[in-house]
Amino acid sequence: MFLRLVADSFSRRPRHKLLTGAALALGMAVATAAISVSLDVGDRLAREFRSLGANLVVTPKADSLPLEIGGVDYRPVNAGAYLPESDLPKLRTIFWRNNIVAFAPVLELTASIFTAPDSTTHSSEAANVRLIGTWAGLPMYSSDGTTFTTGIDRTNPWFQVQGRWFAPDAGTLKRVNVFPPDLPPGASAGHTFVPVPDECVVGANLAKRLSLRTGDHIYTADRSTAEMQNYFGRPNLPCTVTGILSAGAAEDDAVLMPLASAQRLARAKVGEYRKLYVSVLTKPEDDFGRRDPKTLAPADYDRWYCTPYISSIALQISQVLPGADVRVIRRVADGEGAILTRVRTLLWLVTFASLLAAALAVGASSAASVIERRTEIGLMKALGAGSGTVGFLLVAEQLLLALLGGGLGYSLGILLARLVGQKIFGAAPEFSFLVLAVIIGLAAVVTLLGSAIPLRRASRYEPAPILRGE
Amino acid sequence: MPDRKMFWRIIRRIFASNRARLFVILLALGAGAAVTAALLNLQVDAKRRLTTEFRAFGPNVVLVPKNSPSADSRTLPESASRSVPAHLPTGEVRVSAALYLIADVSVPSSGKATSAVIGGSNPSAFVTAFPRSSNYTEPNHSAENVCVLGARVARQLNAQQDAELILSASNRRESCHVASFRETGGPEDDRVEISLPAAQRLADLPSRISAIELRVPGTPAAIQSYVADLQRRIPEADVRPIRQFTEGEAKIYDRISGILSATVALVLVLTSLCVMAAMTNVAMERRNDVGLMKAIGGATRRVLRLFLAEAALLGLTGGVLGAAIGIVLSMWLGKAVFGIAARPRLIVYPVTVALTIIVAIAGAYPLRRLANIRPASVFRGEA
């Protein structure tokens, strides 16, 4: 009989139930969308903040003091210490490896740049140009079959290149398999190494000064100095300009080339780099994150180590790179932390406000729906139903409505969240069952709270006056 | 006019007849208005506040001598820093002029010495350039001969707080006392910061500077037009926005204001839909009343006018109350998020009230169905 009464209530006034359900569904849809976007927005924004560039810098511990003005190091190339490039793949083994967005090693030197190999009238020259050897779009293959592409184009996304970056393997020797028909006389089948032509990217200001265009060649020595340079073991390095870099910083006056080429130019620096920029996704540092890890109790230390604070990731990196000094670039990291914390708080408050609005509106409409059933309640009571039975019936109806409306609202809200996420971040937020549970729960609580006050009053109704229509 | 009198009497009776229902509708409208007002106010304020927050990243525009940013000899006259317009409608531009040179630094007390970059900047730059750097205590500005030591220089020199440093370049010498240390992870770690006049004496470049750093507040578009204006004013310098920060900020700013706008729009839609649902319930409940009015000769239009007036009145009351609560709420929210209470914008108030009235009247749309009610069937008790 109970079920029949509930079913009857739904079938007898379908339009009315539909309206209350629709209000509920819409309210919950907005709540779902707000929660999903808020849950997701932290990660998305953190990723967005990586467009500010690297937040960690690694330098050799034993380094001499850099004499850097305007981004140019005035130390001689041979002064100071270096770090081995072969350690870099270990970065992909740290606990928070998946939070590493990109990294790029840098080896810098200064050299003169010529636009022609010999001193003809067409050759123009720029002295003391900063040459930056680094990676760009370099794929790293790991044992689990995934590829991680990294380089300065990822750590410094504001770098704009007209043309293209140098090829990741430019300036190296490529291993080529050799088969019998192509074999030089006397060689057996196997493989050989073929040098890949050198390529480089020239800063916009420098390109303007030397009137260089994509496809031109530059040389690091002309014929008169080349001989002397060769004597000192510093080869002339002709490279093809593949792109013009606009960086909005000191790099506009520099030449960027593959790390391998720079290592060859900087004599005896094979496999070494001077500075490493790492861009990592972090959790903004809170009071716990700022504590000195040495003073933490073991359990707290584990918690600190397993939280992606910038300081704990810095520690993990220094553990895999021996002899390296990992420093946090405070300008980027602290600014990011401060803004991210504020924005997150702001969004949660906004979400809370919209939840509140949804709750009040849904509560109001479910209250209205109970109020208007006075006559029905009067009739039930006249037929001998106790207040408890009537209340139970109405609550069951409301809960059923909440379940249906909440479920529908959730699906609508997910669509809405996808729309908003797609529009703002170009990516939809991830689906989460937690949100579904929260939404259904919220719908139930809100409808119950909304109907509680009128239900209490309804339980006090005297049937007779209501049935008389008073 | 008796007609009008009767109209208001009926309205009064409608309100008095069912207090619980009145309360419910007012609650829905008021809550909607409050949230709308709070979000609108916060949105206007938060966008402005965010651009201020971005200044945590430090300087975003830099002026360097034309054509040779890396050349060590080229400098700008110090007077250029005074021709930078410092007052913008969005806030103050922080200006800091700096002269960089390489000098030998030695600590007599520990006997260590090294070459390091000396950055001479006008005193405020100690404070303004990187307000959030850790291990940073404000130097005492009373004496000119204080310096701030970068963390790596300090480690190299093994210098303690208040130690005396001797700086020498060519045959010129300056001395200073270490006021504090700082670690920023940037080139500042390898520098010794001294006052600008001291650096100019050391480099023998009186009233010359090598760069001017600016912190320009405002939206990305505002910064861009400021840069263009500055380039016209100071043609001898190369004015460059630091793309790393200006570009990143523009992106992040767009995202955040996009989210805020989307949320405000969602809440507005939600409120109007829920009010509509509540009003539909009201309409159903009114069948008897409408039936009676029609039976004694009430024209449909007059009956509808009555209910629309009711809806508008409800909207007005809910809006006035809700918007006031909302603005107070937004001030509190602003305090919770940015530490400073959001400034109430007067324009938000009338906009919210108007929106609420519109929503209430739009919500009364279901009442249209009352026009189709046939009095006889109502009185027979047919559904």
Is B72 in CB contact (< 8 Å) with chain A? yes
Tell whether B351 lies on the interface with A, counting CB pairs under 8 A: no
Q: Is A20 near chain B, with CB under 8 Å?
A: yes
Half-sphere exposure of A48 (CA within 13 A, CB side): 24
Tokens of residue A356, six digits? 């509140």
- Do residue A230 and residue A257 come from a single domain? yes
Q: Which among B53, B240, B244 has the least Cβ separation from residue A342? A: B53
The pLDDT, as a whole number, for residue A180 is 64
**A34 and A77 inside one domain:** no
Our CA-based measurement puts residue A234 at a distance from the nearest CA of chain B, in whole angstroms, of: 24
Residue where a domain stops, chosen among A328, A356, A375: A328
Range of the domain at A22: 2-43+340-468
Residue that is last in its domain, among A289, A304, A328: A328
**High-pLDDT (> 90) share of chain B, %:** 0
Cβ contacts from A onto B, under 8 A: 260
Q: How many residues does chain A have?
A: 470
Note whether A37 and A62 are same-domain residues: no
What is the SS3 assignment for A26? helix
Chain A residue with the nearest C-alpha to that of B53: A339
| Interface contact flag, A45 B189, Cβ < 8 Å | no
Burial label, A33 (beta-carbon count in 10 A; 0-12, 13-18, 19+)? buried
Total structural domains within chain A: 2
Going by C-beta distance under 8 Å and a sequence separation of 6 or more, which residues neighbour residue B124? Answer: B94, B96
Which chain B residues touch A51 with a CB distance below 8 Å? Answer: 247-248, 251-252
Q: What is the pLDDT of residues B206-230, one digit of tens each?
A: 888 888 888 888 777 888 888 899 9
Least confident residue range of A248-262, B14-28, B106-120: B14-28
* Joined tokens for residue A373: 């059933």
Render pLDDT for B251-280 as a digit per residue (tens, 0 to 9).
Answer: 777 877 777 777 777 777 776 776 676 666
Q: ipTM value of the model?
A: 0.71
A249-A251-A255 Cα angle (round to 5): 165
* Within a domain: A50: no
A358, A411: one domain: yes
The answer to whether the beta carbons of residues A230 and A153 sit under 8 Å apart is no
Let me know the angle formed at the C-alpha of A297 by A291 and A298, rounded to the nearest 5 degrees: 120
Whether pLDDT at B333 is above 80? no
Same domain, residue pair A158 and A182: yes
* Rounded mean pLDDT, B140-169: 79
Q: Is B69 on the interface with A (CB under 8 A)?
A: yes
Please list the pLDDT of chain A residue by residue as tens digits (470 residues): 777 777 777 777 676 677 777 777 877 887 888 788 777 777 778 888 888 888 899 999 877 788 877 777 777 666 778 899 999 988 988 999 889 999 999 988 888 888 876 655 666 778 778 889 999 988 888 777 888 999 999 999 889 999 999 988 887 777 777 666 666 666 666 777 777 888 999 999 899 988 888 988 888 765 555 565 655 555 567 889 999 999 878 888 899 999 988 888 876 567 889 899 999 998 888 888 888 888 888 889 988 988 899 989 999 999 999 889 898 888 788 878 878 887 777 777 777 777 777 777 667 667 766 766 767 777 787 887 777 787 788 788 888 888 888 888 888 888 888 887 777 777 777 777 788 888 888 888 887 877 777 777 766 767 777 666 65
What whole-number distance in Å separates Cα of residue A80 and Cα of residue A59? 10
Question: Rounded mean pLDDT of B6-31?
Answer: 77
Q: Please choose, from the candidates A360, A353, A363, the residue with its C-alpha nearest in 3D space to the C-alpha of residue A34.
A: A353
A30 and A64 both lie in a single domain: no
* CB-CB neighbors (< 8 A) of A69 in chain B: 70, 72, 100, 102, 117, 210
Shared-domain flag, residues A319 and A405: no
Domain boundary among A298, A328, A358: A328
Instruction: With respect to residue A187, please indicate whether it lies within any of the assigned structural domains.
Output: yes
Decide if A405 touches B, using CB distance below 8 A: no
Cβ proximity of A1 and A390 under 8 Å: no
| Residue A14 sits in the same domain as residue A64 | no
pLDDT-derived band at B331 (thresholds 50, 70, 90) equals confident
A151 and A262 assigned to the same domain: yes
Put simply, whether A54 touches B (Cβ < 8 Å) is no
- Please, which residues have CB within 8 angstroms of residue A406's CB and are 6 or more apart in sequence? A24, A25, A28, A439, A440, A442, A443, A444
A246 compared with B127, residue with greater pLDDT:
A246
- Between helix A433-459 and helix A14-49 the angle, nearest 10°, is 140
Nearest-CA distance from A315 to chain B in Å? 14
- Same domain, residue pair A162 and A307: yes
Chain B window 256-315: which residues touch A at a Cβ cutoff of 8 Å?
A: 256, 258-260, 262-263, 266-267, 269-271, 273-278, 280-282, 284-285
Taking the mean position of all CA atoms in its chain, how far away is CA B178? Answer: 37
Q: Quick check: is A159 in a domain?
A: yes
- Residue A335 belongs to some domain of the structure: no
More confident residue, B188 or A14: B188
Q: Which residue is associated with the tokens 């130390």?
A: A75
Does A250 fall in a domain?
yes
Of chain A residues 286-325, which have a CB less than 8 A from chain B? none
CA distance A414 to A417: 5
